[in-house]
A and B are shown apart, each in its own frame.
Chain A
Amino acid sequence: MKPRSLRRRHPLVTYPLLFLISFIGLLPFYWMLSCSFKMNEKMFLMPLQWFPNPINWSAYGDAWKAQNFTRYFLNTAFVAIAITLGNLLLASLAGYSLSKFRYFGRGVLFLLILSTMMLPLEVTMVPLFLIVKKFGWPNTYEGLIVPFLVEGFGVFLMRQYLQSIPNELIEAARIDGASELRIFAQIVMPLCKPALAALGVFTFREAWDMYIWPLIIVTKDSLRTLPLGISLFMSSFGTAWDQLMAVAAIGTLPMVLLFFFLQRSFIQGITVTGLKE
């Protein structure tokens, strides 16, 4: 028996197709990198330069100095890490509660949390802004972080995963006299590592990408995130393409690293958005 290979391959069709797909997938990434090293006056030279010649090393430094990018980068990193940690903790606590305990209202509460997955920020942005404003949180890290500390998707993911963990493990720990909190921290959490990794990478990516919300509540330069900084740079230095591409490349770098080092979790995080109840 030959698994999978039954679906016969036609190498002469498959590989040209794969190269075409790779070309389309990589083109913007390659173009961004190569043009960040190109002389600005050669950007639109006909025929186009596919490889920068001569190589321009100054775009990265110049762009970084033109605006407060170090600050933007650190802001984004801080906000994204805080949101990720919050989601990991709260979603696993909630998922644990919803999967391993029986209590009044459990089903309804789970459905309520789940239903927020269909409630996009784009629908609620106006009142959410008003609420956050009432808390006095515009232009604060709280305002950027707290509303996103937990998402319906994360709770759903952790609940599904935790259901596959045998109750006997938890019961045995209870009989040994472990406190509930300790059971959660020392027995349940370690078993959840794959799910936590997937959720963590997924959340970090979303948080790194966040644009509409910072755009609404941040007006102070010291709180700008990288996406805001990049779009601002584009509107104020619209013709310095080499520098713009350099900034864009730096904004992409953490995601590329994440992808290459945690590829499995990265892909799993997306696979599970396709989970069905």
Chain B
Amino acid sequence: MRLGASVSTKSRSLWKPFRLNIAAKQALFAYVILLPTLAIIFIFRFLPMLQAFYISLTEYDLIRPPRFIWFANFIDLVQDPLFLNSARVSITYVVFSCAPVWVLSLALAMLFDREIRAKNFFRSAAFMPVVMPAVVNAVVWTFMYHQDGVVNTILGWFGLDPIPWLRSSRWALWAVIVIGIWRATPYYMIIFLAGLQAIPQKYYEAAQIDGANRWGQFRHITLPLLKPTMLLVMVISVIVAMKVFAVPLIMTGGGPADSTRVLPLFIYQTAFEFFKMGRAAAMSVFLFAAVMIFTVFQIRLFSRGEDR
């Protein structure tokens, strides 16, 4: 690197044949500082991705060497009621935790996008779910969902009967979904708030002069201009929801009766409790495909709307 350290007039020296020109020297520097990132990304992201495809075609228990079995894992999986159930649980979780979050987080952002007294207090309070670590959430909510816990007490204020949240296969998934909504809403509220504040105020002024009511302003200014943000929130929230893991594992371990065994949890248990690496990798491939399809689908959906 010292070779081309200066481009002074004294450069007509013996070094000349070895001297890199300035552009090449800078390119070399750029490659070198990118290298650590590339190495880590390659070894710990891409290599595992490729390996996941390979392992999914094998039978591997960590003790004997992997045995190549072609697509047997995939064929087994699509016939396995436990896997199909797990996929169903995951889809239910994603749909019912994401859709409310989109609406609530936008509504909350609009609520905060105005002059409010003690704004900082209210915003911090609304933001608390994001501040609490996932494992802490799982532990505290398990406590709150107790038969005689605070959630059922509050339901009692409204004359509702106590619900056996985590002990009933009918309710456990909904208990987990409520936590998902509770935790994700303020997160996406922040993103929407940034999106809202980027909309020029004069659009609303112009609309008011034209006599547009509040709904009209929302429908024709806020929504269209917020579309990129909405797309982003949708994609991120679906991917995040697909990865939910700590909360169901800690709260229910996947039960009762497999009702909260989301896909990442099932992958984890298949790999590290039953040591079926090949099978777990095949499930990962399904999860990966789902993440991809969702992302592409949502981007498509939105860009089609833009053409009109």
Residues of A whose CB lies within 8 Å of any CB of B are 1, 3-9, 14, 17-18, 21-22, 24-29, 31-32, 35, 44, 46-48, 90-91, 93-94, 96-98, 100-104, 106, 109, 112-113, 116, 118-131, 146-150, 152, 155, 177, 179-181, 184, 208-209, 211-212, 215-216, 226-227, 230-231, 234, 241, 244-245, 248, 251-252, 255-256, 259-260, 263, 267, 270-271, 273-274, 276
Contacts and interface: CB of A to CB of B under 8 A. Distances in A.
B52 A127 contact: yes
A252 B38 contact: no
Interface of B: 5-6, 23, 26-27, 29-31, 33-34, 36-38, 40-41, 43-49, 51-52, 55, 108, 111, 113-116, 121-122, 124-144, 146, 148-150, 153, 182, 186-187, 190-191, 193-195, 201, 204-205, 208, 214, 228-229, 232-233, 236, 239, 242-243, 245-246, 249-250, 263-264, 267-268, 271-272, 277, 280-281, 284, 287-288, 291-292, 295
A251 B37 contact: no
Chain B interface, DSSP helix/strand/loop, else mixed: helix
Given A44-B146, A122-B245, A255-B132, A271 B190 contact: yes
A48 B268 CA distance: 37
Given A3-B201, A21-B108, A234 B288 contact: no
Given A14-B111, A32-B140, A118-B239, A274 B204 contact: no
Nearest to A132: B44
5 contacts: A103-B27, A103-B30, A209-B135, A230-B136, A276-B228
A137 to B, nearest CB: 11
B116 A5 contact: no
Contacts of B249: 231
B136 A90 contact: no
* Residue from A22, A116, A131, A274 with most neighbouring chain B CB atoms (10 Å): A274
Contacts of B287: 120, 122-123
Nearest to B284: A123
Given A90-B40, A276-B228, A7 B113 contact: yes
B38 A248 contact: no
Given A150-B40, A270-B130, A102 B150 contact: no
A209 B134 contact: yes
Contacts of A181: 29
B287 to A, nearest CB: 5
Nearest to A8: B214
A248 B114 CA distance: 35
Contacts, number: 277
A216 B232 CA distance: 31
A37 to B, nearest CB: 14
Contacts of A106: 30
Given A131-B44, A274-B229, A47 B153 contact: yes
Contacts of A29: 128, 132, 140
A251 B138 CA distance: 12
A1 B124 CA distance: 29
A47 B148 CA distance: 10
A25 B41 contact: no
Nearest to B6: A177
A26 B122 CA distance: 10
Contacts of A125: 267-268, 271, 284
Nearest to A48: B153
A48 B124 contact: no
A244 B135 CA distance: 12
Contact of B48 (A5, A46, A127): A127
A271 B125 contact: no
A255 B132 CA distance: 7
